Structure 1
């Protein structure tokens, strides 16, 4: 048996060499009738991934394996979370070890962002192995790649649910709640504000600047129109944060929501506090040459500078998130508006709630929908409300029906 101290694994499971290959011998295979659900969290040693692990520890009995490339960091997280969590040092390019770990799992959660450059290889491996899949992906290019795997997942009988974090994720389910309040939904306006780093580390910085690279399509008045990222400023009133500037931003919801719901327009906008960060992002989008924003060193420079700044400002701005879903249309023949708002003090922890709740439902067999689905397509509102209540997440609702 390999020494757990070498970073390959820790805990009760075993990694052994056989026929010149690395073989995974999970605890559940050694214990016969005492089988326990096993969850593999790729990128689980990061802030989002570890938040998912914490949520699963609280709401399931699963044995959890978190992966990463830094063995010492991963082991520190395992030591903090307890004996139900083990660490596997893994690079996603190591297909042999990746396949072995996936095959030994009941659910695989992909948290190894940023997803801008990711392909659907992990999802395809899950499909081949017959293992359910969840991810926290937040980039449209990855979402499209994942959706192309729907026929294969349906044939394999596995449920794959993508975009399950906080935004996209909980935000999408809030929109579904509001859409279902109306007889004829017509317009969705979804906006977010994040305080400082959001508690999510440098990855969120990379995601923000990667989203500025090029114009994207938005569903406006029943047609796809090109819009520029960080354009068309609006001032939106959020609980806790008050009025905040928000701007068009390239997120998967811009095309997944119009695919899921029969509406005329979908608007997706994003902003940050302190307001200085909004100005910084807006100035990069407006004044920097598009060629520069496609250079990885430039993205890394901007991300690290921003992360350094938020290390300072997080102390007074906090790392929370606020979401506002505003759906207008008709109900009982009258003009109506359904609006939902949510505030959470830590964005990374809130993402853990979103992904952890979906995984909990898969493990308990309450959610079974073979194929590849966005969370708003897969998660019924009653189950969404149930899992949010279990986590103490309060979503404020308001339904306004105008008189004739």
Structure 2
């Protein structure tokens, strides 16, 4: 009996495709989703580029197809639809990456659907309550043997990795100050703008002067020198999960602060003015205008630079009881800044795919990663870090 080797090979190829792990990126064609898709497309998986707009998913696939080892497929889906949980289960996913922000106001439909499907879950959420309260799903996730991670982004994913590395140089920590300053020419997404606008001018709690007190979003504006290629930038208050997680995690005595800013003074002070109008009650919520404000800001894309920066400053006492300050800075030239928020997710996703992370349960992305795990990606994207110690 003759065996048709071509048919046999085809059968094996079909079997490999059937057995390959299915990874779904919700919002896979968005500002962050497409970068994660680009990185994971080099794995032997079935990668679903998912979202409400199938045409955009197809366009993303067309851009990745030539360099991809993964089987790329579009999946038109709405995470707010009543049948989302059933449709997700039908895909039999190994892992779901949720990039469809803003997360402010979202419930846990997506991670709960992942738990029900027996799939790992990672998101890039920056909403304080969404990230910090994800542990409510811990028992259900542990029972199913899946990992549910929220906030796998610049904060608290990368920021906690930085502090974990340098906190061992301190006997006690007095303050942690974090700042992010994107370049004006770097790509930005409507979801990110909408997220910031939800708390612009609204109060939120921070640990300051050794106690919890209220400050207002995008106020307390100041100028800050990032040094190096980023130079001096304007900053203002931003609400992130770190503000809730870090005071207890690092036993901080005085304060944990987080600020961010827009490179162009006109846009930055415009946001400060919007915050004032919201604080005074003249405007209730700016987030419905996110698309319009995104279009307006795009009119200024030719101004400013494509250089982004991040800084983590830790102050306290060394083992010798003498004052010590560590300042860690990250510089992203050439418009590479938008890759930084995706790296925590990419690292965790690859560890799960390679079966080198066996943790289960539901938790914020704090203390899950080491700074050394980011460094190969920094090198790939020509992003570089500098550390300064003052004693």
Please classify the TM superposition score into its range, dividing by the shorter chain length.
0.7 to 0.9
Alignment TM-score, normalising by the size of structure 1: 0.83
Residue from 214, 224, 231 that aligns with 1:242: 231
C-alpha distance in 2, partners of 1:384/1:260?
A: 21
Q: Does 1:258 align with 2:247?
A: yes
C-alpha distance in 1, partners of 2:319/2:327?
A: 17
1:383 matched to which residue of 2? 373
Residues 217 and 275 of structure 2 are in contact (CA less than 8 Å); yes or no, is this contact kept in structure 1?
A: yes
Q: Does 1:88 align with 2:75?
A: yes
Secondary structure of the residue aligned to 1:117 is coil
1:306 matched to which residue of 2? 293
* 90-99 or 331-340, larger mean C-alpha shift: 90-99
1:370-404 deviations in whole A, cap 9, x for unaligned? 2222222222344344555566542212233x2xx
For residues 148 and 205 of structure 1, do their structure 2 counterparts lie closer, same or farther at Cα, with a shift above 3 Å needed?
same
2:52 matched to which residue of 1? 69
2:347 matched to which residue of 1? 357
2:211 matched to which residue of 1? 223
2:359 matched to which residue of 1? 369
1:235: how far off?
2.3
C-alpha distance in 2, partners of 1:159/1:337?
A: 35
2:20 matched to which residue of 1? 36
Alignment TM-score, normalising by the size of structure 2: 0.86
Secondary structure of the residue aligned to 1:186 is strand
1:48 matched to which residue of 2? 32
C-alpha distance in 1, partners of 2:195/2:51?
A: 19
C-alpha distance in 2, partners of 1:217/1:235?
A: 22
C-alpha distance in 2, partners of 1:294/1:286?
A: 11
Residues 179 and 311 of structure 2 are in contact (CA less than 8 Å); yes or no, is this contact kept in structure 1?
A: yes
Q: Does 1:119 align with 2:103?
A: no
1:268-308 deviations in whole A, cap 9, x for unaligned? 1111111111101111111345656545xx5333x234212
Map of 1:159-308 to 2, 5 A cutoff?
A: 159-196=147-184, 198-212=186-200, 214-238=202-226, 239-264=228-253, 265-288=255-278, 291=281, 293-295=283-285, 298-301=286-289, 303-308=290-295
Aligned-CA RMSD value: 2.7
* 173-182 or 378-387, larger mean C-alpha shift: 378-387
1:342 matched to which residue of 2? 330
Residues 180 and 311 of structure 2 are in contact (CA less than 8 Å); yes or no, is this contact kept in structure 1?
A: yes
Q: Tell me, which stretches of 5 or more residues in structure 2 are unaligned?
A: 1-10
C-alpha distance in 2, partners of 1:362/1:290?
A: 47
1:331 matched to which residue of 2? 318
Secondary structure of the residue aligned to 1:149 is helix
1:44: how far off?
0.9
1:157: how far off?
2.4
C-alpha distance in 2, partners of 1:69/1:142?
A: 22
C-alpha distance in 2, partners of 1:28/1:53?
A: 26
2:127 matched to which residue of 1? 139
Residue from 95, 116, 132 that aligns with 1:107: 95
Q: Tell me, which stretches of 5 or more residues in structure 1 are unaligned?
A: 1-26
Secondary structure of the residue aligned to 1:44 is coil
1:52-92 deviations in whole A, cap 9, x for unaligned? 1112225x333211111111111111111116321100011
Secondary structure of the residue aligned to 1:86 is strand
For residues 192 and 300 of structure 1, do their structure 2 counterparts lie closer, same or farther at Cα, with a shift above 3 Å needed?
same
1:350: how far off?
2.4
1:320: how far off?
4.4
* 217-226 or 266-275, larger mean C-alpha shift: 217-226
1:15-42 deviations in whole A, cap 9, x for unaligned? xxxxxxxxxxxx9996169833321101
